[in-house]
Structure 1
Amino acid sequence: MKLYTKPGACSTADHIALQWTGQPFEVEVLTAATMKEPAYLAINPTGAVPAIVDGDFVLTQNAAIMGYIADTYPQAKLAGDGSPRQRAEANRWLSFVNSDLHPAFRPIFGPAAFLADEGQHDALKAAARKRLRALYEQAEKQLQGRDWLAGFRSFADPYFYVTLRWAGFLGVDLSGLPNIAAFKARMEADIGVQEALKAEGLA
């Protein structure tokens, strides 16, 4: 299995998940420029990451890739113990990150896609930061008494961790959220996380 990733993008979460499987894999680290070159566009015509190639199978979209990694390496238990309930919990929190948290960053990453008037961009970003704070407060409650979002280490956790890195860089207020702070420290102490960050030049 080969992963195509861009340093610090959501694809870093898939990189961590692959590290957690303990199984061999390849990784190609792309740049904004190489993501638009013909070689990669032949793999993912949208020029976005992540993408994986497993033999003759090509898969894009973060949530789908996380599920594929979990199903390919079930011994890693990234979707739980195999029970429908644990799988559903893992998917619930993966969906929270993929469908709620990640999109909430978009007005900060690219306000021009939402408003043409540059004079309104700061207000838009401020609103996005407020929305993100509310979402992180939900996660803070979920992490009370838990080490991991689903109650066990799952494929939701690397993706959540990547958004915490974004939040730190982009001035999202994470103060007074001790459970999230402990989660972030736990992730950064993890060998698999450290190896993924090192390979992407982020350590």
Structure 2
Amino acid sequence: MKLYYLKGACSLVPHIALEWIGKPFEAVEVNREQIKSPEYLALNPQGAVPLLQDGDFLLSQNIAILSYLDDLYPEAKLFGSATVQDKAKAMKWLAFCNADLHKAFVPVFRPPVYAQGNEELLKQVRQAAGQQILDLLAIANDCLSKQIFLGERISVADAYLYVELRWCNALGLDYSHLRHLDAFYRRVGENAGVQAALKAQGLSA
């Protein structure tokens, strides 16, 4: 099994999941130029990560990859529990991180074309995106005020939120007023599988 990833990107989430599973796999780092190359586009026409290769089977999109790995290795409990309801909760939070929170970062990482060259407009776009990120993080913070993980136990949803908090830290986006997130960030960062994935990607905890 092979995982193609961009260092520190959302592909860190399935990398963590593979560490939790504990079976042999190959992690292949690619850069933004490589994922637009003809060779990579032949594997994933979207030119994006993550991409999982399992023999001749190719699978993109985080939620699809994580669901596939969970079906292959149910004993790893990637969604935090074997119970139907708790798996559903973890899937809800995973979808929240993947579809809502991740999308809010897009104007920061890739400012819209209409704002390029206009520093004042770029600043306004980034400020608006930052506020949207904080508003969404407040929802997760409320959940974490009642429990230490998003579900009964650590899951891929927690891994995704952890990765996005890493992005906030890298961007200098202050979420300290959401006081449960910092403890959550440290708690997830201390997990052995998370540390193994970070080390493999050359990232600091």
Counterpart for residue 90 of structure 2: 90
Counterpart for residue 12 of structure 2: 12
Q: Please give the root-mean-square deviation of Cα atoms over the aligned residues, in Å.
A: 1.5
SS of the residue corresponding to residue 146 of structure 1 reads: coil
Kindly provide the amino acid, as one letter, of the partner of residue 170 in structure 1. Answer: L
SS of the residue corresponding to residue 105 of structure 1 reads: helix
- 1:145 and 2:127 aligned: no
Counterpart for residue 78 of structure 1: 78
Q: Distance in 2 between matches of 1:83 and 1:131?
A: 33
Counterpart for residue 181 of structure 2: 180
Q: 1:34-183, aligned counterparts within 5 Å?
A: 34-113=34-113, 115-116=115-116, 118=118, 119-183=120-184
Counterpart for residue 202 of structure 1: 203
TM-superposed deviation, 1:190: 1.5
Structure 2 CA distance for partners of 1:151 and 1:114, relative to 1, 3 Å: farther
Which stretch shifts more, 101-110 or 192-201? 192-201
Counterpart for residue 193 of structure 1: 194
Which stretch shifts more, 156-165 or 186-195? 186-195
TM-superposed deviation, 1:58: 0.6
SS of the residue corresponding to residue 168 of structure 1 reads: helix
Kindly provide the amino acid, as one letter, of the partner of residue 129 in structure 2. Answer: A
SS of the residue corresponding to residue 53 of structure 2 reads: strand
Q: Distance in 1 between matches of 2:114 and 2:194?
A: 33
Contact 1:129 1:173 in 2 (8 A): no
SS of the residue corresponding to residue 43 of structure 2 reads: coil
Contact 2:51 2:61 in 1 (8 A): yes
Deviations 1:135-191 (A, max 9, x none): 111111101232211232111111111100101111222112232111110122122
Structure 2 CA distance for partners of 1:176 and 1:67, relative to 1, 3 Å: same
Contact 2:81 2:152 in 1 (8 A): no
How many residue pairs were aligned? 203
Q: Which TM-score applies when normalising by structure 1?
A: 0.94
Structure 2 CA distance for partners of 1:87 and 1:113, relative to 1, 3 Å: farther
Q: Distance in 1 between matches of 2:166 and 2:92?
A: 21
- Structure 1 moving runs of 4+ over 6 Å: none
Contact 1:132 1:172 in 2 (8 A): no
Deviations 1:20-60 (A, max 9, x none): 11222111011112222222221111211000011121100
Contact 2:80 2:152 in 1 (8 A): no
TM-superposed deviation, 1:112: 2.6
Q: Distance in 2 between matches of 1:169 and 1:59?
A: 29
